[in-house]
Amino acid sequence: MNRSFKTLMGMRILGWGTALPEKVVTNHDLEQTLDTSDAWIVERSGIRERRIGDSTAELAIEAGRHALERADIDPASVDLLVLATTTPDQTVPATSAHVHDALGLGGGAFDLNAACSGFVYGLVVANSMLGAGNHRILVIGAETLSRITDWNDRNTAVLFGDGGGALLLESVGDEGQLLAWDLGIDGSARTCLKTEVGGKIEMDGREVFKRAVRAMVDSATRTIERAKIRPNEIALIVPHQANIRIIQAACDRLGIDRERAAIVLDRTGNTSSASIPLAFADAIDAGRLRDGDRVLLTGFGAGMTWGSALLRWQTPPSPNEREASTRQAGGSNG
Ligand code: UT7
């Protein structure tokens, strides 16, 4: 099946935003309570510190607000909120209900759980919903993994952190910026990384590591092929931020320069569905992208899920430019 988009309605990125709790927990802090060391954590994972605190809704609201402010649009003009999270604040209602209300959004809202691939799943769903007639969609990935981390388990406690990231999308009358994508799951591997209801994260690290590299490389390869480009045409790869060694192995196998990877895990740890938007926003803010650049988002997570999305970067239009192009197209504006 060819999953490259050839529709007359695609997406463009209008804004982006991030949120991190204030509290920094360094590897040295963890040395105080766990049989571990800064040297081990850095060498095996690349993580130096992580942020801990806030609720999932608070982080999602802050990231979403930054995205809306950057785009300078009326929140009520947003037609849909997709909140990717594995750590909702409560079972019912969805955390997106709180976020939708706090931001004053229009339209509907729902939570999406595809673990660490959640943000890419959300982006692809949002792209389809723009094609189905929505004009603006806010996609957020937000997590408080610290709440489901066993702080006495050195196998997992050193890896995870809290955070949020958001992209605000708008429909356009052409193919748009999402050129190709790939989503998948192998549910037979669902026990290698799991959290029971009310429980803490349990993980077979080595098994997840092996599967992660394979899943990311295969999914990214399918996506690159669907976009009909070559790996060396990718200007920036934004991988799920779980382990620097997984990222490097994936880059090497894909034939993408390691320097082209967006990395924040040294500062954030693994923030599951927030990790890709956090790394993407960091790269945009650092000025790493030029108009026309190809950007590959790729991740894997519990399930085991995987997801990749190939984007063409375009600097968002200013509010004036946006208004002019909307008037020309005869559409509505917010
Ligand atoms: O979003 C997806 C989430 N999860 C992942 O992506 C995790 C994927 N897996 C990994 O990132 C790596 O497997 C880990 C970072 C979890 C572990 O690294 P590793 O190189 O696979 O180490 P290992 O599990 O093979 O353990 C090596 C040794 C063991 O000791 P022995 O048996 O060799 O004596 C562990 O007990 O390191 C020990 N160890 C630690 N030592 C110090 C495990 N955790 C720690 C620790 N500090 N925190």
Cα dihedral across residues 226, 228, 232, 235: positive or negative: negative
Distance of CA 150 to the CA centre of its chain: 24
308 close to 220: Cβ distance less than 8 angstroms: yes
Mean pLDDT over 223-237 rounds to 97
Helix (H) or strand (E) holding 22: none
User: What is the gyration radius of the CA atoms in the chain, in angstroms?
Assistant: 19
Measured by CA distance, the residue closest to atom 17 of ligand 1 is 205
Given a contact cutoff of 8 angstroms between Cβ atoms, the answer to whether 216 and 247 are in contact is no
Residue to mutate, 50, 209, 213, ligand 1, most ligand atoms under 8 Å from C-beta: 209
Three-state SS string over 146-196 comes to: HHHCCCCCHHHHCCECEEEEEEEEEEECCCCCEEEEEEEECHHHCCCEECC
Cα–Cα distances in angstroms (integers) from residue 296 to residues 61, 137, 157, 308, in the given order: 26, 20, 29, 7
Contact in structure between 298 and 212 (CB atoms under 8 Å): no
Q: How does DSSP classify residue 32?
A: T
Residue with tokens 């197209």: 329
Q: Is the pLDDT of residue 3 over 60?
A: no
The ranges of the chain annotated as CATH 3.40.47.10 are 10-176, 178-312
- In Å, what is the CA distance from 206 to each residue of 44, 148, 159? 11, 20, 14
Distances (CA, A) of 21 to 96, 118, 271: 19, 20, 12
The whole-number average pLDDT for the span 195-216 is 97
Q: Is 27 in the pocket of ligand 1 (CB under 6 A)?
A: no
Sign of the CA dihedral running 315, 316, 318, 320: positive
Q: What average pLDDT does range 211-226 have in this prediction?
A: 98
Asked if 10 contacts 313 with a C-beta cutoff of 8 angstroms, the reply is no
Residues 65-85: pLDDT tens digits? Answer: 999 999 999 999 999 999 999
Which of 113, 127, 243, 270 is the catalytic position?
270
Q: What is the pLDDT of residue 318?
A: 84
Rounded to an integer, the average pLDDT of 90-100 is: 98
Please check the confidence at residue 4 and state whether its pLDDT lies above 60: no
Architecture of 178-312 per CATH?
Answer: 3-Layer(aba) Sandwich (3.40)
**Strand 23-26 to strand 49-52: parallel, antiparallel, or no bridges (unpaired)?**
antiparallel
**CB of 276 closer than 6 angstroms to any ligand 1 atom:** no
Ligand 1 site, residue 242, Cβ cutoff 6 A: yes
Atom of ligand 1 nearest to the CA of 245: 11
Q: Closest Cα to atom 21, ligand 1: which residue?
A: 206
Distance 151 CA to ligand 1 centre (A): 15
Catalytic residue among 116, 127, 134, 192: 116
CA distance 227 to 95: 34
Q: Among this protein's residues, is 320 annotated catalytic?
A: no
Active site residue 98: no
* Residue nearest (by alpha carbon) to ligand 1 atom 36: 155
Does residue 179 register a pLDDT over 80? Answer: yes
CA of 148 to the centre of ligand 1 (A): 18
Mean pLDDT across 116-127: 98
Closest atom of ligand 1 to CA, residue 272: 1
Q: Look at residue 129 and give its three-state secondary structure.
A: helix
Tell me, in angstroms, the distance from the centre of ligand 1 to residue 168's CA: 36
CA distance 227 to 224: 5
Of all protein residues, the one whose alpha carbon is nearest to atom 8 of ligand 1 is 209
- Which tens digit of pLDDT belongs to each residue from 263-290? 999 999 999 999 999 999 999 999 999 9
What does pLDDT average to over the chain?
Answer: 95
Among the listed residues 66, 240, 243, 251, the single catalytic one is 240
Higher pLDDT, 30 or 319: 30
- Is 123 a residue whose pLDDT tops 70? yes
Architecture of domain 10-176: 3-Layer(aba) Sandwich (3.40)
What's the pLDDT score for residue 1? 44
Angle at 106 between CA 101 and CA 107, to 5 degrees: 110
Q: Is 232 a catalytic residue?
A: no
Task: Decide: pTM greater than 0.75.
Answer: yes
Mean pLDDT of 135-150: 98
| pLDDT of 327 above 80 | no
**What mean pLDDT is predicted for residues 45-50?**
98
pLDDT band at 330; cut points 50, 70, 90: low
Instruction: Decide: 251 and 258 in contact? Cβ < 8 Å.
Output: yes
Instruction: Look at residue 138 in the predicted model and tell me its pLDDT.
Output: 98
Share of the chain above pLDDT 90, in %: 92
* Cα dihedral across residues 73, 79, 84, 89: positive or negative: positive
